[in-house]
Amino acid sequence: MSVMWNCWHGCTKLSAGCLNCYMYRRDAMYGKDSTVAAKTSAFRLPLRRNRQGQYKVPSGELVYTCFTSDFFLEEADEWRKEAWEMIRLRSDLTFFIITKRPDRFYVSLPKDWGDGYDNVCISCTCESQYTADLRLPIFLELPIKHKSITHEPMLQKINIRKYLREYGSQIESVSCGGESGPDARPCDYAWVLDTMLQCVEYNVSFFFHQTGANFIRAGRLYHIERKDQHLQAAKAGIDFTRAV
Ligand code: SF4
């Protein structure tokens, strides 16, 4: 089972992958300024209890964290201290965090972090070769117990061999996905396949997450409805589990 914990909302666009940010599109529909970050009403969700005094988020859940912002956003430096404290107190939950800002990891990090909390998984998003070469050398040196890489929205073929070669044993998985929305940039299946082959070569688990709205296969462009994007990716049958 999984739970969504959106601790703060609002973000600043950072790189090409942010161009058609889902959160900006949603806010635009309500005339809201997406660049203003604020804590949400769900901020204290991990510690909320029901009338019986039990945690509302039961033990063992996977908690997807901060999905309309970036956990390491500068404006959230103070809030992140409280968020880390909740994550520490709920060591019975697993928190999954995706970021484009690994360079800000150390800001507001808890003193007892050590080589990482067991219950925190962090994935670094790299949508292009440029952002992979910018973020991965930083990310892969960070003290995090569970690390993964996300290429989403994948905008081009990305060669991460040198990172898989050097850090493969600590990268738990690599996942690829296309872009959704009316202005989605296309994702080419050949790029996804190429990443899968890199992962097989270095024995790192690979996951094709979703196709995106505009998907190219064998040179032909397909428009894929939102509801079918995960299913079509699964149908490709190219996920790979690391051999132990
Ligand atoms: S980092 Fe994520 S939430 Fe922030 S603008 Fe970019 S895509 Fe949107």
Q: Report how far Cα 36 is from the mean position of its chain's Cα atoms.
A: 21
Per residue in 157-181, pLDDT tens? 999 999 999 998 999 999 999 999 9
DSSP string, 201-244: HTT--EEEEE--SEEEETTEEEE--GGGHHHHHHHH---B----
Alpha-carbon distance of 206 to 175, in angstroms, equals 6
- Answering whether pTM is above 0.85, one says yes
Specify the residue with its C-alpha closest to ligand 1, atom 6: 18
Summarize the confidence of residues 72-80 as an average pLDDT. Answer: 98
User: What number does the ligand 1 atom closest to the CA of 99 have?
Assistant: 1
Minimum-distance ligand 1 atom for the alpha carbon of 22: 8
Domain ranges for the chain, please list them. Answer: 2-151
181 CA distance to ligand 1 middle (Å): 15
pLDDT of 1 above 90: no
pLDDT on residue 22? 94
194-233 confidence digits (pLDDT tens): 999 999 999 999 999 999 999 999 999 999 999 999 999 9
Q: What average pLDDT is seen over the chain?
A: 97
